[in-house]
Structure 1
Amino acid sequence: MAIIIGVTGRVGVGKTYLIEGLLKNEPSYDVIDLDKLGHEVLKQESIKEALIKTFGNDILKKNHEVNRGRLGDIIFNDLTQLRLLNNISHPAIKKLAEARIKTSKQNAIIIVGALIKEIGLITRCNYIISIIADNKKREETLGIKKRIDKYQQSDKQYKLMATHVFKNTFLKDIVEKFSVLVQNLLR
Structure 2
Amino acid sequence: MRIIGLTGGIASGKSTVARIFEQLGAVVIDADQLSREAVMPGRPAYDAIVAEFGPTVLCADGTIDRKALGCVVFADAAARSRLEKITHPAIRQLAEEKLAELREVPVPLVIYMAPLLIEAGAASRVDEIWVVFVDRETQITRLMARDGITREEALLRVGAQMPMEEKRTYGKAVIDNSGTREETELQVRRLWEREVAMEK
Normalized against structure 1, the TM-score is what? 0.90
Measured after TM superposition, the shift of residue 66 of structure 1 is: 1.0
2:118 is equivalent to residue 126 of structure 1: no
> Deviations 1:33-75 (Å, cap 9, x if unpaired)?
1111111111052111101111012212232111112111111
> Deviations 1:50-102 (Å, cap 9, x if unpaired)?
01111012212232111112111111111100000000000010111111111
Aligned-pair RMSD on alpha carbons?
A: 1.7
CA contact (8 A) 1:94 1:119 kept: no
Q: What is the aligned partner in structure 2 of residue 167 from structure 1?
A: 176
2:61 is equivalent to residue 63 of structure 1: yes
Q: What is the aligned partner in structure 2 of residue 35 from structure 1?
A: 32
> Runs of 4 or more off by more than 3 Å in structure 1?
none
Q: What is the aligned partner in structure 1 of residue 19 from structure 2?
A: 20
CA contact (8 A) 1:8 1:130 kept: yes
Identity %: 23
Aligned runs of 1:122-161 on 2, under 5 Å?
Answer: 122-143=123-144, 144=147, 146=154, 147-161=156-170
Equivalent-residue separation in structure 2 for 1:169 and 1:72 (angstroms): 25
Q: Secondary structure at the match of 1:32?
A: strand
Measured after TM superposition, the shift of residue 20 of structure 1 is: 1.4
> Deviations 1:110-155 (Å, cap 9, x if unpaired)?
0112111233321122221112112332223112372421110012
Equivalent-residue separation in structure 1 for 2:142 and 2:66 (angstroms): 20
Q: Secondary structure at the match of 2:20?
A: helix
Equivalent-residue separation in structure 1 for 2:125 and 2:53 (angstroms): 32
Measured after TM superposition, the shift of residue 173 of structure 1 is: 3.0
Give the residue type in structure 2 aligned to 1:54. E
CA contact (8 A) 2:119 2:162 kept: no
Which is worse superposed, 166-175 or 31-40? 166-175
CA contact (8 A) 1:94 1:120 kept: no
Distance verdict in 2 for CA 1:116–1:54, change over 3 Å: same
Gaps of 5+ in 2: none
Give the residue type in structure 2 aligned to 1:174. T
> Deviations 1:149-169 (Å, cap 9, x if unpaired)?
111001232123222222223
Which is worse superposed, 81-90 or 104-113? 104-113
Equivalent-residue separation in structure 2 for 1:107 and 1:122 (angstroms): 19
Equivalent-residue separation in structure 1 for 2:34 and 2:63 (angstroms): 15
Whose RCO is larger (CA < 8 A, sep 6+)?
Answer: 1
2:4 is equivalent to residue 5 of structure 1: yes
Normalized against structure 2, the TM-score is what? 0.84
Gaps of 5+ in 1: none
